[in-house]
Structure 1
Amino acid sequence: MSRLRVGLLANPTAAQGTAHRVGRQVGHLLRLAGISVVDLSGPSAPVARARAEEVRDSLTALVVVGGDGTVSLGAEIVAGTPVRLGIVPAGSGNDFARSLGLAVNDPETSTRALLHALSRPVVTIDAIEITAVGEHAPSQRTLALGNVNLGFDALVNARANSTRTGHTIRYTTAVLRELPAFTPLPFWLEVDGGERTEIDATVLTLCSSGMFGGGMQMVPHSRIDDGVLELATVSGIGRAQLLRLFPRVFAGTHTTLEAVDIRPVREVVVGLRHGRTLRAYADGEPRAVLPLRARVLPGAVRLLADLAPGTDTGADDEGAP
């Protein structure tokens, strides 16, 4: 019997139950390969987290089955530990998995990739730590692996989450519904400990993978292992220009436009002037209400993946567990 012990955490509701079915298949195939598998899935994220944290120290890897939100949950569980994070994409968006070139809704291909990665050197990737700031802000932190959405993109994410159509379709529909009443948001920013600046921006996104919204390539050159994030802003454009911008974001050809600014950062504190309330979204899930602090945690997560050629990652040389 293999000494490898893998925890399996499937989101029972992702993609209307698809993740639960895919998770069972992956668990069966891993056991056939001689891997010891413990099912950590639960009826809710807190229950699944508690189960995983209870046995985490005994695991070689934690395999999560679901969408971007489930991947973020897995990252929070294993970050800073020797446990590797395996990803089986089976959610509605799967943007982070797509940025890694992973097969979607394909249990056999996913299982082969996981088994192969178990024999490969450990790959480390960055995480984004998100905490609310302010006198009465809760101290709890959350982690994301892909992106933090802070502007019009956050409002669109919130609306898209309230519908049950296909991810790309519902995101595009949410853009069209949010657009008529939208005006640029009055942000203040403190970047890498610098002085506070003000900007009226339409889109404000902090990127590690640079992909969200069912394939939008907000920052095509983003890397998940370089120890920095990209702060992408879109400002100085009206609604009609914004509508024309979004098709270019899917193709990644928007970055040369004058309205788009992309710069590397390690930490950002961001809030809104004039007392407006806005909740940030990260990897498709609601996070802290602004103001918040987001910072990169270099190499915080060990990834269990044999990545597609051309994917930029860092691999340490200590070998497989």
Structure 2
Amino acid sequence: MSRLRVGLLSNPTAALGTAHRVGRQVGHLLRLAGISVVDLSGPSASVARARALEVRDTLTALVVVGGDGTVSLGAEIVADSPVRLGIVPAGSGNDFARALGLPLNDPEESVRILLHALSRPVVAVDAIEILAAGEHALPHRSVALGNVNLGFDALVNARANSSGRARSFRYTTAVLRELPAFTPLPYWLEIDGGERIELDATLVTLSNSGTFGGGMRVVPDARLEDGSLELVTLEKVGRQELLRFFPRVFRGTHTSVDGFGIRPVREVTVGLRHGRSLRCYADGEPRALLPITARLLPGAVRLLADVSSGGSS
């Protein structure tokens, strides 16, 4: 019998309960392979987090079953620890899994990849830590693996999360519903300790994986292990141009659009001028109200995956 001990955390609500069913199947397959499995799933993210942190130091790996929010929860639990993170995509968006090139809707192949990776050298990827201060301070450490959305994309994410449609359709629908009333937002930014700058922008996104919104390739050449984050901005684009912009992002052909920019950064603080209020989203989940600071955590998460074969590399 293997001495490997793996925690299993599945989201009971992801993809209308599909993730919970897939989680049971994954646990069964891992046990058949001789792995000791402890189920850490709970009725809420806070309960699952508490259970996992209590036993984290006894685990070889933590396997999460769900969408991007569940992957982000797993990253928060294992970041800066020796515990490796395994991913079985079973959510509605699965953008981080897409970036890695992991199979979707195939639990058996997912488990095969996990078992193979357990015998391979450790693969470490970067993460993003999100910090907020004062009354907006977060109740626990906030870590993302994919993206931190800070503009029109955050507003769309909020609207999409309230829809019952499939992820790609609800994101597109949310874009169309959010667009008529949208105007560029008045930002201030401090990048890598530099002086404060101001800009009016439609998109401000901090990207690690390069993919969001159910397959939008916002940074086509993003790499998860390069020790850098990409600050994405889109300025001087009106409503009609924005409507034409998003379909191009799915194809990754948007980078030549006037006003679109990508800048490598390690830390950025973002706020809004004129008393405007906006909640940032990270890996599909609501985080803190602006202003926030997001910073690179180089090599903070050890994955049970082969990053070299992923879509981001």
TM class by shorter-chain length? over 0.9
Q: Deviations over 1:279-311 (max 9, x none)?
A: 000000001100000000000000011346365
Aligned to 2:294: 294
Tell me the amino acid that sits aligned with residue 172 of structure 1: T
SS in 1 for 2:42: coil
Aligned to 2:104: 104
Q: Deviations over 1:147-203 (max 9, x none)?
A: 000000000000000011100000000000000000000000000000000000001
Shift of 1:253: 0.5
Aligned to 1:318: none
Percent same amino acid among aligned pairs?
Answer: 76
Alignment of 1:132-281 (within 5 A): 132-133=132-133, 135-138=134-137, 140=139, 141-281=141-281
Q: Structure 2 vs 1, CA of residues 254 and 131 (structure 1 numbering), >3 Å: closer, same or farther?
A: same
Tell me the amino acid that sits aligned with residue 256 of structure 1: S
Tell me the amino acid that sits aligned with residue 162 of structure 1: S
- Assess if the C-alpha contact under 8 Å between 2:6 and 2:60 holds in 1: yes
SS in 1 for 2:309: coil
Q: Structure 2 vs 1, CA of residues 311 and 152 (structure 1 numbering), >3 Å: closer, same or farther?
A: closer
Tell me the amino acid that sits aligned with residue 100 of structure 1: L
- Assess if the C-alpha contact under 8 Å between 2:208 and 2:222 holds in 1: yes
Tell me the amino acid that sits aligned with residue 230 of structure 1: E
> Distance in 2 between the 1:92 and 1:56 partners?
27
> Distance in 2 between the 1:309 and 1:279 partners?
34
Aligned to 2:117: 117
- Assess if the C-alpha contact under 8 Å between 1:14 and 1:90 holds in 2: yes
- Assess if the C-alpha contact under 8 Å between 1:101 and 1:308 holds in 2: no
> Distance in 1 between the 2:37 and 2:127 partners?
26
Alignment of 1:6-85 (within 5 A): 6-85=6-85
Shift of 1:104: 1.2
Following TM superposition, the consecutive aligned residue runs of length 4 or more in structure 1 with deviations greater than 3 angstroms are: 310-313
TM-score scaled by structure 1?
Answer: 0.95
> Distance in 2 between the 1:46 and 1:136 partners?
20
Matched positions, count = 312
Root mean square deviation, CA, Å? 1.1
TM-score scaled by structure 2?
Answer: 0.98
- Assess if the C-alpha contact under 8 Å between 1:205 and 1:231 holds in 2: yes
> Distance in 1 between the 2:240 and 2:311 partners?
35
Tell me the amino acid that sits aligned with residue 224 of structure 2: I
Range that drifts further, 136-145 or 42-51: 136-145
SS in 2 for 1:201: strand
Shift of 1:21: 0.6
Tell me the amino acid that sits aligned with residue 105 of structure 1: N
SS in 2 for 1:57: helix
- Assess if the C-alpha contact under 8 Å between 2:188 and 2:273 holds in 1: yes
SS in 1 for 2:241: helix
SS in 1 for 2:22: helix
